[in-house]
Amino acid sequence: MNFPDLEKTLKIDKVGVHERVNRFCKRSIKTSAKTHGLHLALSMIDLTTLEGKDTPKKVVQLCYKAQHLHDSMLDLPTVAAVCVYPTLVGVAKKELIGSGINVASVATAFPSGQSTLEVKLNDTKFAVDQGADEVDMVISRGNFLAGEYNFVFDEIAAIKEACGKAHLKVILETGELDTLDNVRKASDIAMYAGADFIKTSTGKISPAATMSVTYVMLVAIKDYCKKTGIKIGMKPAGGILTAKQSLQYLVMLKETLGDSWMNKDLFRFGASRLANDILMQLEKQESGIYQSLDYFSKD
C-alpha cells in the first residue's frame, strides 16, 4: 500500500470523455441480448434505502423485495445486496439469512463525512459487528478539495483496516469534486489506499452518477489493474433510473474493462427505482405489451 504519484496522474480530456460516452449510448441492443443484459443488470443492483425515515419494517419490506423481485416471472436473479444505514444492518442481516444476498452498510458519517476519524472508525466497526458484508464509506471531500491528499489516503486506509473481512466501497461523491481531473485523482487515492470498490455518489447530491464520471473511474481502474494486477470493482450510484441507462452502463463496462468485470463481484448499480423499470422491460420483452408500475411492488 503506497501513495500514488499524483504528479503523474492522467490529465482528463473532458471533451474526449463526453464524445466517447456518447458513442456508448448508440449501441443497439435488442431481443435476446437485451434480455440477457437486463438479467445481468438486475443481478448487479444494490437495492438501497438511505433515508432519515427508514424503519425496521421498511427494511424488512425491502429485503422481501430483494428476494422476490417479481414472482410471476421465472428464472429471475436476485439483486446483489441490500444497502442500509448501520443501525438497520442487524434487521437486514436477519431477513437475508440463506438468501445469498449481501448486506451493505454505509458508514463514516454518511453522507457528509464531516466527523472525526474516531467516530468514523466506530461507525464502521459497528456496521461490521452487526454483520455487514460490505461497507460503503464516504471520503472527506473538504480535505480532498483543500489538497490534503495524504489525510484522505490515511483515512481510507484506516477504515479499510477497521472493515476486516468486509468489502470496502469508497464513495468519492463526484458531484462535489467539480472536475473530472479531481475524480481521477480521488479514484487513484482510493484504490491505492485499499478500496475494493470505488463508487460515484451518495445519492444525496445532484448530479449523482453520470456516464462521464463513471467512464473516468473505469479507466482509472483499468490503469490500476495494469500496474498492480488487482481488479477493483465499480459502483455508479444515484440517478440511474431506467433499464436503458443500465444497458448503456454495461456497454461502457464491457468496452472499457472487458468481460471479466461483467459480474456482481466487480460491478454494482446503487439504485432503488431501477429494479422495477428493468422488471417492466423484461415483462414487456416477454408479453410484447408495455407495462405499468401499478403492477409491480413498490418496495
Partner 1 sequence: MSRIDVLKTYKIFIGGKFPRTESGRFSPLKNKDGDLVANICLSSRKDFRNAVVSCRNTQKQWENTTALNKGQILYRIAEILEGRKSQFIEELMMTGSSKYQAKNEVEQSIDRLIYYAGWSDKFQQIFSSVNPVASNHFNFSVPQAMGVISVIAPNEFPLLGLVSIVAPVIVGGNSCIVLSSEENPMVSISFAEVLNTSDVPHGVVNILTGERKELVSYFASHKDVNSIIYCGDKNEEIKEIEKVSVENLKRVKIYKRKNWNDKTSQSPYFIEQCQEIKTTWHPTES
Q: Between residues 234 and 271, which has the closer beta carbon with respect to partner 1?
A: 271
Q: CA-to-CA distance for 227 and 231, rounded, in angstroms?
A: 10
Sketch the per residue contact string, 195 through 234, with partner 1: x for CB under 8 A, - otherwise: ----------------------------------------
Q: How far is the CB of 282 from partner 1 (least distance, A)?
A: 14
Give 100's contacts (C-beta < 8 A, 6+ positions apart). 78
Q: How far is the CB of 291 from partner 1 (least distance, A)?
A: 5
- The residue ranges of DSSP E strands in the chain, in sequence order, are 45-48, 81-84, 102-107, 134-138, 167-171, 197-199, 233-235, 269-271
Give the count of alpha carbons within 13 A of 223, CB side only.
17
Q: How many residues bind partner 1 (CB under 8 A)?
A: 7
Q: Between residues 119 and 293, which has the closer beta carbon with respect to partner 1?
A: 293
Site for partner 1 in 237-296 (CB under 8 A): 289-295
Site for partner 1 in 77-116 (CB under 8 A): none
CA 11 to chain centre: 24
- Check: CB of residue 68 under 8 Å from CB of residue 91: no
Beta-bridge partner residues of 235: 199
Q: How far is the CB of 288 from partner 1 (least distance, A)?
A: 8
3-state secondary structure of 226: helix
Q: Between residues 227 and 284, which has the closer beta carbon with respect to partner 1?
A: 284
Q: Between residues 247 and 266, which has the closer beta carbon with respect to partner 1?
A: 247
Q: Between residues 33 and 293, which has the closer beta carbon with respect to partner 1?
A: 293
Q: What are phi and psi of 237, to 5 degrees?
A: -140, 140
Q: How far is the CB of 292 from partner 1 (least distance, A)?
A: 4
> What does each C-alpha distance from 111 to 35, 75, 83, 115, 146 come to in angstroms?
35, 36, 13, 11, 19
DSSP per position, 27-40 = ----HHHHHHHHHH
Q: Between residues 29 and 262, which has the closer beta carbon with respect to partner 1?
A: 29
Determine the longest span between alpha carbons in the chain, in angstroms.
55
Q: Which residues are catalytic?
A: 136, 199, 235
- Check: CB of residue 189 under 8 Å from CB of residue 155: no
Q: CA-to-CA distance for 81 and 213, rounded, in angstroms?
A: 23
- Check: CB of residue 186 under 8 Å from CB of residue 200: no
75 binds partner 1 (CB under 8 A): no
C-alpha cell at 172: 468519492
Q: How far is the CB of 297 from partner 1 (least distance, A)?
A: 15
Q: How far is the CB of 298 from partner 1 (least distance, A)?
A: 15
Name the site residues for partner 1 (rule: CB under 8 A).
Answer: 289-295
